[in-house]
């Protein structure tokens, strides 16, 4: 035997049995939608018997459910390496690739399955659906190249839109959002009504014009005795958004809010959420703030429901206009020059300053790397240093990275969102990195609480309010999502 030849030790019968037991127990946790415990047990199965494709494919599926797309992709790829004939491994890899917006690569996996199983109708369906997406995106890119100056907002003619006599919903007053309009709008939405398209378009055009004038990093002063509320992901859970206002009061000049990204997708009342938030932004522009999240992007919206929901409730043109608006959302907010709030997290470099954030050209779809990507996608980790992202985008950053960034920029701590937490929030990195997530029982499956943070200007100490999910009409999450995602997940 040469020194390069690796000796593979046979797996003992005891380990084989243990691994199967771990897998069986993990499957039970998965059925109960306790994905984190399922992942732990699949990991133990892999440690006991590391060359079984099924264990990796199953863990990949659990990672998909927890939005760890990078880990899901690595596991699915490993399952295929171990068993070239294992069809489910290709499906899992395709799902991970699609979740990362890599549709061409996903199509190759579906194509492979259709070749090795030409009579498999399920494989053929998935290949056909994915091929449609790839062709559609290629067509859209070609159109964009032909007309790269195209601006949807400029093509909208509000004056040509008539209000039908039978419309009985809220109306803008002299084209402006008022408090009465907002209260009437929320009541309309609670009853599953729809805002007239004329007013919906007017709100979008006005909010786009407003955001275009805003900086990438917004500075927010808070008076010593003033209260300020920070909310995390809402994800289309309109009735839980209403519960936040019940618990904490409606937005006003004396009750300011910051909503920290991921307003839409997953939940099937995203249109209601976004028009409520945009309406309050127009009503109280200096006391209501919104940060961009990773789900305020075209790829995410096409996969996870918002694009389909807008097309169902309004038009494809409006869906394109939303993309334009999202490109102008600020990427971060600095509270009292002491606390930085962003959706995702920190950076792959220790040299990034607040001025660097201010200089980011944000009017675009999120790139796959760099500071803009990291602000939207990164996550904290408990150990020092950095690691590749579990999501496949952005990075993971440790307590030392957080401390270095805060020291460099003379800040107290950061607030971010982006991750489901059982209690709705988590205090990490010795109190310097706080996560807040405001969508309770996320996707009607996770069982987590929601939370929001209240600060007072004088001390800027975070105080947490947690709450359970409230009932909503019988429309399931992901009801408008891309059909292929429902086939895969």
Inter-residue contact 53 to 83 (CB < 8 Å): yes
Assigned token pair, 268: 């099937």
Q: 333-348 burial, b for 16+ CB within 10 Å, e for fewer?
A: bbbbebbbbbbbbbbb
Which H or E element spans position 341? strand 339-342
DSSP for 262-315 reads --SSSSS-HHHHHHHHHHHHHHSTTTEEE---TTSSHHHHHHHSHHHHHHHHS-
Report CA-CA distances (Å) from 428 to 259, 385, 397.
20, 14, 11
Sheet with 217-220, side-by-side order of all strands: 217-220, 332-335, 339-342, 413-416, 433-436, 425-428
What's the per-residue H, E or C state across 91-127?
HHHHHHHHHCCCHHHHHHHHHHHHHHCCCCHHHHHHH
Q: Which of 436, 411, 381 is nearest to 260 (CA)?
A: 436
- Which residues neighbour 421 within 8 Å (Cβ) at sequence distance 6 or greater? 435, 437, 448, 451
Best CA proximity match to 302, nearest among 128, 133, 95:
133
Give the DSSP per-residue string, 402-449. Answer: HHHHHHHHT-SEEEE--S--TTSEEEEGGGTEEEEB--TTGGGTS-PP
Residues marked active site are found at 295
Q: What are the b/e assignments for 129-142, b being 16+ CB within 10 Å?
A: bbeebeeebeeeee
Residue 416 CA to residue 433 CA, distance in Å, equals 7
Report which of 115, 112, 46 is spatially closest to residue 74, judged by C-alpha positions: 46
CA distances from 306 to 76, 282, 375 (A): 27, 22, 22
User: Going by DSSP bridges, is the β-strand pair 379-380/395-397 parallel, antiparallel, or unpaired?
Assistant: parallel
Token output for 403:
């401390």
In degrees and rounded to multiples of 5, residue 43 shows phi and psi of -65, -40
Neighbours of 301 (CB within 10 A): 25
Q: Which residue has the tokens 């955001």?
A: 211
Contact assessment for residue 451 and residue 425, using Cβ atoms and an 8 Å cutoff:
yes
């Amino acid at each position: 035997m040469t020194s390069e030849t690796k000796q593979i030790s046979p797996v003992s019968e005891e380990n084989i049995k243990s691994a199967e037991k771990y897998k069986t127990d993990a499957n039970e946790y998965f059925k109960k939608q306790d994905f984190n415990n399922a992942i732990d047990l699949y990991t133990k199965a892999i440690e006991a018997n590391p060359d079984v494709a099924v264990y990796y494919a199953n863990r990949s599926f659990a990672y998909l459910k927890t939005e760890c797309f990078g880990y899901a992709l690595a596991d699915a790829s490993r399952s295929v390496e171990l068993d070239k004939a294992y069809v489910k491994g290709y499906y899992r890899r395709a799902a991970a690739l699609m979740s990362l917006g890599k549709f061409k690569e996903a199509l190759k996996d579906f194509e492979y399955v259709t070749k090795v199983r030409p009579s498999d109708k399920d494989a053929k369906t998935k290949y056909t659906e994915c091929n449609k997406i790839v062709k559609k995106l290629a067509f859209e890119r070609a159109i964009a190249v032909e007309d790269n100056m195209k601006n949807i907002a400029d093509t909208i003619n509000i004056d040509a839109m008539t209000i039908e006599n039978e419309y009985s919903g809220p109306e803008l007053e002299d084209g402006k959002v008022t408090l009465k309009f907002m209260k009437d709008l929320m009541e309309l939405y609670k009853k599953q009504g729809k805002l007239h398209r004329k007013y919906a378009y007017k709100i979008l055009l006005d909010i786009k014009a407003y955001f275009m004038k805003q900086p990438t990093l917004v500075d927010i002063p808070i008076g010593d005795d003033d209260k300020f509320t920070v909310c995390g992901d809402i994800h289309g859970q309109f009735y839980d958004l209403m519960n936040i206002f019940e618990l904490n009061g409606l937005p006003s000049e004396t009750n300011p809010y910051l909503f920290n990204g991921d307003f839409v997708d997953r939940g099937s009342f995203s249109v209601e959420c976004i028009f409520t938030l945009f309406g309050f932004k127009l009503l109280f522009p200096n006391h209501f703030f919104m940060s961009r999240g990773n789900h305020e992007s075209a790829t995410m919206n096409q996969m996870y429901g918002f694009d389909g929901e807008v097309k169902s409730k309004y038009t494809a043109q409006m869906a394109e206009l939303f993309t334009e608006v999202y490109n102008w959302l600020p990427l971060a907010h600095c509270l009292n020059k002491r606390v930085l709030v962003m959706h995702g997290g920190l950076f792959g470099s220790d040299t990034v300053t607040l001025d660097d954030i201010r200089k980011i050209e944000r009017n675009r779809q999120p790139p796959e790397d760099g500071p803009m990507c990291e602000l939207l996608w990164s996550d904290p980790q408990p150990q020092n240093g950095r690691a590749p992202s579990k999501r496949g985008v952005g990075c993971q950053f440790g307590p030392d990275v957080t401390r270095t960034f805060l020291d460099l920029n003379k800040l107290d701590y950061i607030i971010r969102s982006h991750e489901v937490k059982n209690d709705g929030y988590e205090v990490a990195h010795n109190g310097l990195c706080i996560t807040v997530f405001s969508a309770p029982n996320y996707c009607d499956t996770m069982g987590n609480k929601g939370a929001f943070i209240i600060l007072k200007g004088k001390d800027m100490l975070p105080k947490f309010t947690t709450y359970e999910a409230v009932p909503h009409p019988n429309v399931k999450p992901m009801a408008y999502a891309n059909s292929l995602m429902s086939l895969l997940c």
